[in-house]
Structure 1
Amino acid sequence: MSDHSNASEIVIVGGGIYGTSLAYQLAGTGKTVTLLEAGEIADGASGGPGERGVRANGRDLRELPICAVSQRLWGEYQQSIEGGVGFRRVGGLKVFDIPYGHREHEVRGRMATTAATQASLGTPSQVLTREETLAREPELAAGTIGAIYCPNDGVGDHGFATRQFAKEAAKAGVVIRTGARVTGIVQSRGVATAVTLADGETIPVGEKLIVVANAGAEALLKPVLKPYEFGPVWNLMPQMLYVTNPLNKTVNHLLSHAHRRLAIKQLPDSVLMLSGGAHVAYTQEGLWKGSLSAMTQNVTDAIQTMPFIDSSSFLKADASRVETVTADLIPLIDQVEALPNVIFGYGWSGHGFAISLGFTKLLTDWVISGVKPEALEPFSPSRFHAPARFLADATLGRAAA
């Protein structure tokens, strides 16, 4: 049993990119922080091989202002933290062609309006002609008609970044405990006072408990959330494919495609990483099963986008990291109504790495000021329940009339 007089002001559950970067930022404000991770740092979706996209291009409009903050912070931390955080600002291209049955004026209209909207929400975006696009990426398929270029986009070594933030947080005085699986939230008089670990130990909570454990968050929060505080989520296993580059071609940007579920990155060792496409099977036991059909879809999309990849050979496939996904593919962030000193964030939907630093900056501001930032309102689970309440109220209003 722990002594409650030694409670950290902030207890964070989850040792991924959200937990470690939040711990680092909060420690910089002078708060005492304890971070609890069930396994090892970067054991979950924040770990694994390769790099993740730090992408604003094509992102949900509600996330764009936060992504702009995040991309600025990725650049700043890359410079200010010793050894960097594994971030490379290579720029992003969202490639467009004209799929069968589509109309060229519609595709070009989508390019123009998407770029203009992204720019107005904080992400510099430029429509490139076919010639300008091929000048940047000569290996793109002949059917390419143009692209949206975002100069602030980049890539990051997600496991390295997570461990770097953990290291810097520890330097700043954060207590980091691995192998500390949180199984319950202790409450008294309307606040969370402690969390319990799988081995029975109790960790006291001072001011705030912050749950950012992604795949493990919902089960921990379930006993304290009301039905309208849940958001619909499920788990999936994204597949990452790694292939050789025998022709020694160069992919200069983080590439995505307007009509294909695809991301192409060239890693520092010249290996090509193909992701963003079909997933593999996930079992309740936490096991994953490879899929030839998923692999075929992913490779076909990649070759249709950059034909030279057809000369590549397989190196490996990795689908070992669980992602938690929401119905509208943006995260769930709020505080627990019954326990206002509990803040949660999860459901990053497979693209949370890029926007992590913007969200943890806002969470830090929330903890320090005591006021929830307005920019976080679109991510409340109430978005899935408010329309039903509105319709109910409207029905009652008509009946009364």
Structure 2
Amino acid sequence: MTLSADYIVVGGGVVGAATAFHLALSGSVVLLEGHTIASGASGGPGKRGVRASGRDIRELPLAQRAYELWPTLADTLEADIGYERVGRLSVLETDEASPTGQTAFEVLRAEVQESFGIPTIIKEAQELDDLQPGLAKHVKRGLYCPLDGIVDHTATTMAFANAAKRRGADIQEHAWVERVSAEDAVHLRGQRDPIVAKKGVLIACNAHINPLLQRSFGLSLPLYPFNPQMNFVTSKEPLPINTLVSSSSRPVEIKNLGNHVYMISGGRMGGWNEKEDHGYTLDTSFDLNYRDACAILPILSQATFLHANASRQCTQSYDGIPTIDCVPGTNKVIMAAGWSGHGFAISPAVAEAIAAWMITGEKSQVLEPFNVDRWKGMME
């Protein structure tokens, strides 16, 4: 017997779960997750940065909308998601007196972000100590975005899924999708009859999207996988790390998780075991990340290693922004992938826009920069 639903969502990460949450007010929804909710890049230890600062200009309208959504999201989802608006400071390690080079670029970035409604303040050396004590002496200025913050990504993804379920969505874990047809039929492993979507399908299984697109439509997006390493250190006494701290010239980001625990991440990778399909940590990644963190915030030299994790695989697009569009040759099968390690911050706005598109048939202008057409000639 053929089963059906108004909407089918493939993938139980934050984008899939959040989109299901919105769709559930407009019809029947089935969410299919091959493993468990938040088992991919939308879950794991620590917290994610919720930032508009430093983003590609094409993502800034979504970031601005996400700024509006995050502060009330815990109430909306009726769950504690660990959201804190702590601000983000990106330090500049330079003493250039004239607006040239890196300093000029950051001044321009501040102007652009401000034009999109992202409050951005250039802090000079004499102002930095009040904002973030203990910075290295060679840090001469910084770009500060007070509305940036941090959030528990696992708790947020689970909260979206649970809220979608309360609205009537059918959340199915361990439901492996073998293929999706252009007729909006979703075929599950071990199940003879497909589930048919009456109004639309969203494929949002980030790290697994290309194998599914290959099996279903004979195409792949120009994405490559990576698994960032998250490093955690602890101290006997609390360290005065007041904001999310990053660097304009080093791949590092520092978050205060509370209880004397600090997360250091920002671009160092773990290893990946292809045969066993899991990630593993690298000592060199911790050493380099910790070195960079201490270089801009020397008080971290008081901290000691706690643990590291590199188990969660992400996908990086070649231009650093996601693809959100209909699968070529279809008009009701939408794909969303390639978040490049920083998509979580804009996920509430992305899901809102995708759901509105699926419900109304009208694609929002904020999603236009993420069209698949930009990959013409690169898709198999």
SS in 2 for 1:87: coil
| Cα offsets for 1:125-153 (capped at 9, x unmatched) | 11111122221101111111111111211
Deviations 1:244-282 (A, max 9, x none): 123421211111110011110000323000011310222
Match of 1:22 in 2: 19
Name the CA shift for 1:386/1:221 in 2 (closer, same or farther; >3 Å).
closer
1:211 to 200, 203, 214: 203
Identify the residue that residue 398 of structure 1 maps to in structure 2: none
Equivalent AA in structure 1 for residue 252 of structure 2: L
- Alpha-carbon separation, structure 2, partners of 1:102 and 1:380: 41
Structure 2 match to 1:243: 233
From 349, 361, 368, give the equivalent of 2:340: 349
1:225 shift after superposition? 4.3
Is the CA contact 2:270–2:285 (under 8 Å) kept in the aligned structure 1?
yes
Q: Report the secondary structure of 1:234's partner residue.
A: strand
The one of 284, 306, 310 equivalent to 1:315 is 306
Counterpart-to-counterpart distance in 2, 1:122 and 1:14? 32
Cα distance, 1:111 vs. partner? 2.2
What is the alpha-carbon distance in structure 2 between the residues aligned to residue 85 and residue 211 of structure 1? 25
Separation in 2, partners of 1:259, 1:384: 29
Q: Structure 1 or 2: larger helix share?
A: 1
Matches within 5 A, 1:109-188: 109-187=104-182
Please give the alpha-carbon distance, in whole angstroms, between the structure 2 residues aligned to 1:153 and 1:130.
Answer: 21
SS of alignment partner, residue 88 of structure 1: coil
2:44 to 45, 48, 64: 48
Question: Cα offset for 1:386?
Answer: 7.6
1:223: Cα distance to partner? 4.1
Matches within 5 A, 1:298-313: 298-313=289-304
- TM-score norm. by structure 2 comes to 0.94
- The residue identity in structure 2 corresponding to 1:126 is I
| Number of equivalences | 377
Match of 1:77 in 2: 73
Q: Structure 2: which 5+ residue stretches go unaligned? A: none
- SS in structure 1 at match of 2:181: strand
Deviations 1:216-244 (A, max 9, x none): 111111245476xx431111110000001
Q: CA, structure 1 residues 147+382, in 2 after alignment: closer, same or farther (shift >3 Å)?
A: same
* Cα distance change, pair 61–38 in 1 and its aligned pair in 2 (3 A): same
Deviations along 1:289-347, one digit per CA (max 9) or x if unpaired, are 33222221111110101101112111100000001111111111110122211001011
CA contact (8 A) 2:237 2:260 kept: no
Aligned twin of 1:3: 2
Q: Percent identity of the aligned residues?
A: 34
Q: Which residue of 2 aligns with 1:269?
A: 259
Partner deviation per Cα, 1:144-173 (whole Å, 9 max, x = no partner): 111111121110000001111111111000
Q: 1:280 to 1:387 in 2, by over 3 A?
A: closer
Decide which of 85, 92, 102 is 1:89's aligned counterpart: 85
Q: Partners in 1 of 2:140 and 2:187 — Cα distance?
A: 57
- Give the Å deviation of 1:104: 6.6
The 1:47/1:244 distance shift into structure 2, 3 A limit, reads: same
Matched, 1:377 2:376: no
Contact map agreement 2:12 2:38 (CA 8 A) in 1: yes
Q: Give the partner amino acid of 2:258.
A: P
Is the 2:238–2:259 contact (alpha carbons within 8 Å) kept by the matching residues of 1? no
CA RMSD of aligned residues (A): 2.1
Alignment partners' CA distance in 1, 2:318 and 2:198 = 34
Equivalents in 2 of 1:383, 1:210: separation in Å? 20
Deviations 1:150-200 (A, max 9, x none): 12111000000111111111100001000101111134xxx32x2111213
Q: CA deviation digits over 1:370-395, x for unaligned, max 9? A: 1222221211232233899xxxxxxx
CA change 1:80–1:372 in 2 (3 A) is closer
Contact 1:277 1:297 in 2 (8 A): no
Alpha carbons 1:98, 1:104 under 8 Å: kept: no
Equivalence for 1:260 = 250
Moved over 6 A (4+): 101-104
Work out whether 1:279 is the aligned partner of 2:276. no
Task: State the alpha-carbon separation in 1 of the partners of residues 170 and 285 from structure 2.
Answer: 41
**CA 1:45 to 1:225, structure 2 compared with 1: closer, same or farther past 3 Å?**
same
Work out the CA distance in 2 between the residues paired with 1:373 and 1:385: 22
Match of 1:296 in 2: 287
Partner amino acid for 1:156?
Answer: V
1:336 matched residue in structure 2: 327
- Candidates 198, 215, 218, aligned match of 2:189: 198
TM-score normalised over the length of structure 1: 0.89
Deviation at 1:14, TM superposition (A): 0.4
| Alpha-carbon distance in 2 for matches of 1:165, 1:107 | 40
Give the whole-Å Cα distance in 1 for the aligned partners of 2:269 and 2:181.
37
**Deviation digits for residues 75-127 of structure 1, max 9, x if unmatched?**
1212333233321111111111129x998743322221111101112311111
CA drift of 1:348 comes to 0.8
Cα pair distance change 1:131/1:380, threshold 3 Å: same
Task: Describe the shift of the 1:103–1:293 C-alpha distance in structure 2 as closer, same or farther (beyond 3 A).
Answer: farther
Give distance in 2, aligned partners of 1:287 and 1:81. Answer: 31
